[in-house]
Structure 1
Amino acid sequence: MHNVVSTEWLADEMGKPDLLIFDCSTYLPNEPGNKKDGFRAGHIPGARLFDIDVIADTETELPHMVPTAGRFAKLVGALGISNASRIVFYDQHGLRASPRGWWMMRLFGHDQVAVLDGGLPAWKREGRPVETGEASSPTPASFVADFRAEKLRGIGDIKRIVAQGGPLIIDARAKGRFDGTAPEPRAGLPSGHMPGAANVPVSEIAGPDGLIKSPDALRALFAAVGVDGVRPVVTSCGSGVTACVLALGLVEAGFPEPAIYDGSWTEWALRPETEKVMR
C-alpha cells in the first residue's frame, strides 16, 4: 500500500471489507467552521471521523498530543481498526491533517495506511459521491499497538538539538509566523522560531491543484534547506499536525522518514526558558 493514494484508487477499492476510510480534519483556532459540522455536511461514503483531539493525551494542556499506546489501541479499536485493516485518511481541506493520522498509525506500528491525494476537495471536484449526516456505528475491533519511539521527539530532545547541533529541524509554518512578522493563530502565543531551524511552509508540499508534488519537486524543495538524506531531520509546526505533512513529503521525496516534534511551536513558545528567534 503506497503512502499516498489517488481518488481513482480509492474509488476502486471502496467496499472491500479490510479497507477503512477516515476523515482526519482539523481547524485552526481562528478559523471558521469545525470538523464535525464539515463531516456532516459531506463525507466520502462509508467514512468515519478520526478525531485527533480525542485520540490524544488528555492530561496535558497542549493540543492533540500523542496518547499512550494503551489509550491509542483502545480508541482506534473502538473505531473498528484492527492490525489487519488497510486505512485511508483524507482531509476536508485537501492536505493538512490527514498525514497526522497516517503518522500516528505508523507511530504505533501500523504501516497499511495512506493519505488520499487532494483530500475531499479533489474527490468532490471529480464528481464522486458523498454522504451527509452522521457516520454509521463501527463494529469494534482489537488493535495491538507497537510503539516506535524513533518517530517521536519531545522538548528535551529539541533543547539538546538546539544546544548541541545534529538533526536538522524543519518548521512547516507560514514564513511570516516563522519569521515573527505575522501572528500565531493561537491567542497570546508569540511567533518566531527555534534557533537553527529551517522553514518549508506546508503550502509548498502540494501544487496549485491541491495534489502532492512530484518526488523530484519535493526532493529539490527539501534539498534547498539542507536535507541530504544523511543528516537526521525533525519536523515541527504549530501543534504537531502539519509537521506530519512535511514528514509525508520527505518520504515521498525518497528521504528517510523524519521524527516529529509533537509539542512543536506551541510548546516551545510557551516555555519561558526557551530561546525564540525572530527575523
Structure 2
Amino acid sequence: MSFILRALRRPAFRFMASSYSTTASEAPLLISPSQLNKDWNEKQKDIVILDTTWFMPNAPRDAYNEFQRKRIPGAQFLDLDKVASSHELGLKHMMPSNAVFADNCENFGIRPSTHVVLYDTHGVFSSPRALFMFRSFGHTNSSILNGGLPSWNAESFTIETNPPSVSPPKSQYFFQSYEQMIANSSLNPSTSVEAELVLDARSAGRFTGKDAEPRPGLSSGHMPNSFSLPFGAFLKTVQGPQGSTYTVFREPSEIRDELDKAVGAAHAERIVKGEATAVTTCGSGMTAGILWLGLKILNAPKIGLYDESWTGYAMRETSKIEKA
C-alpha cells in the first residue's frame, strides 16, 4: 500500500482557523508570492508547486505548451483533465478515483507532509478547482497562489523559461452527484431547512437562458431553486507590469457582500454559520471551485461542489431547466 493511500485514510482536519492564517495541521487557503518565495527558498524539499492552468475548450491556447515556455521555478504541470475519472457522459476534469489521485501525488513527489501550492496563469481561475480536489482527499496542507503566475511576475520573482526537467477519509469537503442535485432541486430553500443552497458560477446571461452556452447544442438556463453568483464577483482585477492585468480574491468582507447580494443576507448568514449547506456549480465544474474557495475564506463549514455541473445536468433529457 502506498504511503499516499495510507495518508488518505487518516481523519481529515476540520478547518476552524482564519482563512488567512495557518495551523499546525492546515495550510492557509491563499498564499502570497512573497510568502511562497520565502518558503521555497527556506524549505524547498517540503513544497511542491503545481501549475493547474486550464482553458475553455474553444480557447486557442494550450496550457501545457505555455507551461513549458513560462512557469514558476521548480513547478510541475497538473493536467486537471487527465487527473480525473472517466465519466458516463464523457465529461472532463471530474474527481479522480483514490488510486488515480494517489498515483499522481507520488509522481509529483507529494508526501502527506508536503505543502502543495497551486497556481494558474489567469490569476485566479482553475487553481481553486485543484485545491478543492486536494482538500477533498484530506490533503489540507495545500494552498493557491493568490493572483497566480501574473502576481508572481508582478513582484519581479524569477520566471523559468527553459524546458522543464520534468477509501478516502471522512471530510467536510464533498462533491455532489446528479441524483442529489435532482432531489435538492425540488426543495425551496426559503421554506425547507433541508434544502441545499445551489450557487451557480456561470454568467447571469447563461443562468437566465438569455445567452447561449459555449458548448454547442447545450441549453442554457438553470436548475430549479438555484442562485446566480458569477465567479467574478469573488475576484478583482489588478494591474501588473506593462499594462497587464490579472485576478486575485477580494477581501473576506467584500466576498460576504457579494454572497449577501446573490442569496440574501439571511441565507448568507445560514451558510456562514453552517446552518445550511451551499453547493457550488458552473459550466463544467471548473469555476465552481472559485465560489467554493471564496466560501472557505468566509469559514463556511458546509460546502459542496457539483462535479459535472451544468454540462452534465443539461445533457440529460430528464433534467428540468428553468429560464429567466
For 2:323 and 2:40, the matched residues in 1 are separated by 47
Any unmatched runs of 5+ in structure 1? 138-143
For 1:27 and 1:133, the matched residues in 2 are separated by 22
SS at match of 1:170: strand
Query: Which residue of the partner structure matches residue 154 of structure 1?
Result: 177
Q: CA deviation at 1:195?
A: 0.8
Q: CA deviation at 1:126?
A: 2.2
Query: Which residue of the partner structure matches residue 257 of structure 2?
Result: 220
- Residues 190-229 of structure 1: pairs in structure 2 closer than 5 A: 190-209=219-238, 210-224=247-261, 225=263, 226-228=267-269, 229=272
Backbone CA RMSD of aligned residues: 1.6
Aligned residues: 273
Identity of aligned residues (%): 33
For 1:205 and 1:150, the matched residues in 2 are separated by 20
For 2:207 and 2:87, the matched residues in 1 are separated by 28
For 1:124 and 1:217, the matched residues in 2 are separated by 25
1:37 aligns with 2:60: no
| Contact 1:73-1:145 within 8 A present in 2 as well | no
Query: Which residue of the partner structure matches residue 38 of structure 2?
Result: 12
Any unmatched runs of 5+ in structure 2? 1-26, 189-194, 239-246
SS at match of 1:14: helix
| Contact 2:69-2:163 within 8 A present in 1 as well | no
Match of 2:81 among 50, 53, 63: 53
| Contact 2:279-2:303 within 8 A present in 1 as well | yes
1:23 aligns with 2:51: yes
User: Normalising by structure 1, what TM-score?
Assistant: 0.93
Query: Which residue of the partner structure matches residue 94 of structure 1?
Result: 123
Closer, same or farther: CA 146–74 of 1 in aligned 2, 3 Å: farther
Q: Which amino acid aligns with 1:220?
A: D
- Residues 118-129 of structure 1: pairs in structure 2 closer than 5 A: 118-129=147-158
Match of 2:280 among 222, 235, 238: 235
Q: CA deviation at 1:133?
A: 4.2
Q: Which amino acid aligns with 1:57?
A: S
For 1:98 and 1:239, the matched residues in 2 are separated by 14
For 2:172 and 2:300, the matched residues in 1 are separated by 19
Off by >4 Å, runs of 4+ in structure 1: none
User: Normalising by structure 2, what TM-score?
Assistant: 0.81
For 2:183 and 2:159, the matched residues in 1 are separated by 47
Q: Which amino acid aligns with 1:84?
A: S
Q: CA deviation at 1:148?
A: 3.8
| Contact 1:69-1:147 within 8 A present in 2 as well | no
Query: Which residue of the partner structure matches residue 140 of structure 1?
Result: none
For 2:237 and 2:295, the matched residues in 1 are separated by 19
> Comparing 116-125 with 265-274, which one deviates more in the overlay?
116-125
